[in-house]
Amino acid sequence: MVVNLIELPKIDAHCHVLDPRHFPYPEDVPYRPQGQEIGSADYFSQVMQAYGVRHALLVGPNSGYGSDNRCLLDAIQRGQGRFKGVAVVPNHASNDYLQELQAQGVVGIAFNPALHGLDFYADIDPLLQRLQALDLWAQFQVSADQLTQLLPRIEHSGVRVLIDHCGRPVLADGPQAPGVCALLSLARDGRSVIKLSGFAKFSLQGYPFEDTRAHVQTLLQAFGPERSIWASDWPFLRADYRLDYGTLLMLAQRWFSPAQCQQMMWAAPARLFGW
């Protein structure tokens, strides 16, 4: 049976809002998104309406805003229940600050070793413990084999983990690469979740990302559709070529069964993030 995904209710589990007109970038950020990388919450709400997306998990972008969460929190506040957030915070963020964010609709904290490197996060073990105590997610964007060094710390903390963009493997290293093996070990812990998204970040072929398909299917089988969630990564920061929301939905419709889509695009994120 062919199902038109645009007609089904969906949750986008990884996207960004950037609105430098109303929320200027801090002076010290190394990268300032411009042009088609920019997307305000108001515009994204129109995108959501066009494609049948009911809710979205907004991720604070290290690009542009760093640990400035004003744009993110404003979007959540004005979203009337459509949005929840994953914020970026300093590694020494206090319990009180985390609770303030949580009260405003933040459900997790983002860590980006793929951008900053592992040394940048050498001192986050106390922060991971605070996240675990507050039942907040720790979201990691890693690349290649970075997860191997983080895995013992994640397991020790007991924190709930989201892994961005399929773990961003180096596909040429094959399915037995240490980073892939570490990712599959997380699949066995029963609490970690994988985002099936960001194919452009590790594909060497471009859309329709056929070289990523075997890895994506391996992750879906390992985590199961109950702990695999779909996301667009809109508005495609630092993309080397044009990407569009509709074509990503078409790809999901080809790769996944209707039952898998219903789980990954609605049931699982609704349950995991409290919609």
Map tokens 């494609």 to a residue.
51
- What are 56-84's pLDDT values in tens digits? 999 999 999 999 999 999 999 999 999 99
Q: Which CATH class is domain 5-273?
A: alpha beta
Q: Of the candidates 17, 56, 62, 24, which has an alpha carbon nearest to the alpha carbon of residue 40?
A: 17
Structural domain boundaries in the chain = 5-273
Q: What is the pTM of this model?
A: 0.96
Tens of pLDDT along the chain (275 residues) come to: 556 877 789 999 999 999 999 999 999 888 999 999 999 999 999 999 999 999 999 999 999 999 999 999 999 999 999 999 999 999 999 999 999 999 999 999 999 999 999 999 999 999 999 999 999 999 999 999 999 999 999 999 999 999 999 999 999 999 999 999 999 999 999 899 999 999 999 999 999 999 999 999 999 999 999 999 999 999 999 998 999 999 999 999 999 999 999 999 999 999 999 99
Rounded-to-10 torsion of CA 267, 74, 124, 273:
-10
Q: Check if the beta carbon of residue 113 is closer than 8 Å to that of residue 145.
A: no
Q: Check if the beta carbon of residue 252 is closer than 8 Å to that of residue 5.
A: yes
* 69: DSSP letter: -
